Amino acid sequence: QKEVEQNSGPLSVPEGAIASLNCTYSDRGSQSFFWYRQYSGKSPELIMSIYSNGDKEDGRFTAQLNKASQYVSLLIRDSQPSDSATYLCAVNNNAGNMLTFGGGTRLMVKP
């Protein structure tokens, strides 16, 4: 079974700190990786995608991918209370654009 694992949290960080969210996946054939943010009671919104090994930066967010270790992470710099949400890692196994989601990590940024 293809799995995507995330620590459910909550991960608590002080405002202004770096939040590090981690995700591992089981299918070595996975090609596309996504991070979504989901506020309570809302639907997921795309933060960023990553396809190649290494880092990809977008504003305060940096996604990191290591296919050899089957590991993808999301760093949030200068965390703000508004970043408090559940972060979902999703992996595309090239099965018709279907995504396999992790259970999500709940992030709490404390003022």
Partner 1 sequence: GAVVSQHPSRVICKSGTSVKIECRSLDFQATTMFWYRQFPKKSLMLMATSNEGSKATYEQGVEKDKFLINHASLTLSTLTVTSAHPEDSSFYICSASGSGRGGTDTQYFGPGTRLTVL
Write the CA distances from 69 to 5, 26, 54, 62, 88, integer angstroms. 13, 10, 12, 18, 19
Q: How many CB atoms lie within 10 A of CB 66?
A: 12
Site string for partner 1, 26-55 (x = CB under 8 A): ------x-x-x----xxxxxx--x-x----
Query: How many residues interact with partner 1 (rule CB under 8 A)?
Result: 22
DSSP code of residue 18: P
| From 11, 17, 75, 99, residue interacting with partner 1 (rule: CB under 8 A) | 99
Burial of 107 (0-12, 13-18, 19+ CB in 10 A): buried
Tell me the closest approach of the beta carbon of residue 100 to partner 1, in angstroms: 9
- Least Å from the CB of residue 17 to partner 1: 25
Cβ atoms within 10 Å, residue 30: 19
> Cβ of residue 88: shortest distance to partner 1, in angstroms?
7
- Find the binder of partner 1 among 92, 105, 107, 109 (CB under 8 A): 92
Judged by the rule CB under 8 A, the positions of this chain that interact with partner 1 are 32, 34, 36, 41-46, 49, 51, 88, 90, 92, 96-99, 101-104
